[in-house]
Chains A and B, each alone.
Chain A
Amino acid sequence: MSAPSVEKGIQFIREQIDAPVASFFSACVHCGLCAEACLFYGQTGDPRYTPINKVEPMRRIWEQEYTLWGRIKSTLGLARKVTEKDFEEWEPLVYDACSLCGRCSLVCPVGNDISGMIRKIREGFSAAGYAPEGLIGATTRAVQIGSPMGVKLPAVQAQIGHLKHDTGLDAPLDQKGAEYMVLLSSMEIMNFPEYLEAVAKIMKQAGKSWTIASKAFEATNSGIQIGTSDIAAELVQRVVDAAEELGVQTVISPECGHAYTAIRWEGPNLIGRPFTFKVKHILEVLDEFREQGLLKTDGMEEAKLTFHDPCQLVRKGGVIKQPRKLLNMVASNFVEMTDHASMNWCCSGGGGVSANERADEIKFKAFRQKKSQLDELQVDTLVTACANCRITLEEGLEEYEMDLPVVGLTEMLADHLVDENEEQG
């Protein structure tokens, strides 16, 4: 990859402008309603965080180069060219004050996919070298080591060993012909290894063959978050190569938000060809098992609980009904947040925000949106299905001195599975 530069940044932004982007800029009437959907604006009152404003440099490039009137203005010297100063000024707007949650895209009256444009503009910013340090480090590690957090195979192997020893459950590595290939996010490996145990337990009861690829176990795609499609493509290619080599039917994306978006929607477009296997989120798979009668659960939780909808999974992923159907299998007192499902609010840490220390302050401010949702409901437990959401929620709850346990849905389901295998340990 050549060195970053402002010219390169502008070129990359230019390349991101397609018919949809042009239609969005043509249709925008400056109504400002996108701000009303954004938690970063809502909790700070800073108009610069208005979603459409975050892509203003892209709009200027579009106007100056792809519209007649803009070209005329340019020729007459009336156009404000995008400069290095703009990259400097907009970097925090594009990375710190946006989690790519997509709520703005859903409310724009003229139908603009604003968060999609913010994803696109990040390509230019990273090419110009104007991206947060935390994301640059994560992306470098992802490429060189295979995980944005530097997690290597021995860590996975250690957990697989622990799993076998302490529960008798198998997590086969590199099993050719397995039906499912399970990906893990570094966040899960490091912070929520219960997830692996839960998957193993569920797969065993469902009687499904599965495997983890030693060469491509990482689900997180930092390339997507920083906005460097070359790197994002490389990370996806690793997974694709492994899946095809092992001949699996379905690749399972774990409880991680952007991992799903990366592999499910962007993946084939990044590598330039359709996949020869299916891609599903773990909840989609679990719900299929439920429908097929393969999940036998026991007991219902009576604690009052609610579900935080991970943005990439629900609003942007369309996996809306599945977590609800699964939760209703094991919970008798599940209440919805007022703004729920596709209109739920971001945890405040998605899209690379939690990996960006500079954004900590604004992230905690934005979290007050989630706090207000929880204050309204007064539940005993918060359930979610994304490791990053989990940590972000926990940190937010701690910051505001709220005592509320947060649990993962897959883990919760696994805890309720009827213990068919009596031999353990």
Chain B
Amino acid sequence: MSAEALLAWARGPGFDWALGIFVLGMLLRLFEVLSLGRKPDLAEGRGSGVQGGLRTIVTRTLPRPSVFAREPVRIINGYVFHIGFFLVLFFYGPHIELFQTKLGLSWPALSTGIIDALAVLTVLSLLLALALRLTNPVVKFLSTSGDYVAWLVTLLPVLTGYLAYNHMLLPYTQMLALHLLSVELLLVVAPFTKLTHMFSFALARWYQGYQAGHRGIES
């Protein structure tokens, strides 16, 4: 298959299939969680569960000072690759055009110079994250193959995107095809790994926050 044909497939049916699997997969994961249900809390409450749930979704984004003091590098690095990935994904011109095509939405882009720098930062941050995962005794102990797969499928799109944009490593058409294929890999794999956390984090924070809000305790 020629590079052009591969690229055309990756841009077309490949992407649609991958997106479809991503959406269905994530919906399935959501259903798997919600369908288990939760018993109502019969204990007298002091406050609002809803307020607690919503508040916790926001406030858990920031670490507790005493925990931050113990692992500042790992925590800051976590923010860096999350924010970097998010900005590159949503604020690069050609990506916004894709969203425009698929969802009819559009918004201002960041300059390509900034995106380029962010991509580098994100790749380096992800490499550091891997190094930290391998050297921290707790994290290494907890890690499974799923963690390394998730890491790889997250790294590849950012890396290949950077290489494609900068016309590095392979001819542009091939590199772009690889980039799209890596995105499709991420989309297809995500629902079956811990990457589900991109949605389930809100559920988890909500559930604990709801109980905390109802009880009037901190969360």
Contacts and interface: CB of A to CB of B under 8 A. Distances in A.
**Per the CB under 8 Å rule, do A and B touch in the complex?**
yes
Interface of A: 17-24, 26-33, 35-37, 41, 45, 47-48, 50, 52-53, 66-69, 105-113, 116, 264-269, 272-275, 278-279, 315-318, 320, 338-339, 342-343
B33 interface: yes
A80 to B, nearest CB: 11
B218 to A, nearest CB: 4
Contact of B208 (A17, A69, A111, A343): A111
Given A26-B204, A45-B137, A112-B204, A18 B36 contact: yes
Contacts, number: 169
B125 interface: no
A89 to B, nearest CB: 14
Interface in B25-81: 28-29, 32-39, 41-44, 46, 56-57, 60-61, 63-64, 66-67, 70-71, 74-75, 78
Contacts of B217: 315-318, 342
Nearest to A42: B70
A265 to B, nearest CB: 5
Contact of A264 (B43, B57, B144, B200): B43
Contacts of A32: 136, 138-139, 141-142
A21 B64 CA distance: 23
Given A106-B64, A111-B56, A19 B207 contact: yes
B68 to A, nearest CB: 9
A72 to B, nearest CB: 9
Contact of B39 (A53, A68, A269): A269
B216 interface: yes
Interface of B: 28-29, 32-39, 41-44, 46, 56-57, 60-61, 63-64, 66-67, 70-71, 74-75, 78, 136-144, 147, 192, 194, 196-197, 200-201, 203-209, 211, 215-219
Contacts of B39: 18, 269
B71 A33 contact: yes
B43 A269 contact: yes
A272 B40 CA distance: 10
Given A66-B32, A67-B29, A279-B44, A110 B204 contact: yes
Contacts of A278: 44
B218 A106 contact: yes
Interface of B is mostly: helix
B194 to A, nearest CB: 5
B142 A52 contact: yes
Contacts of B43: 264-269, 274
Contact of A47 (B34, B35, B137, B216): B137
Contact of B42 (A28, A48, A108, A269): A269
A113 B208 contact: yes
Nearest to B37: A19
A371 to B, nearest CB: 16
A67 B196 CA distance: 12
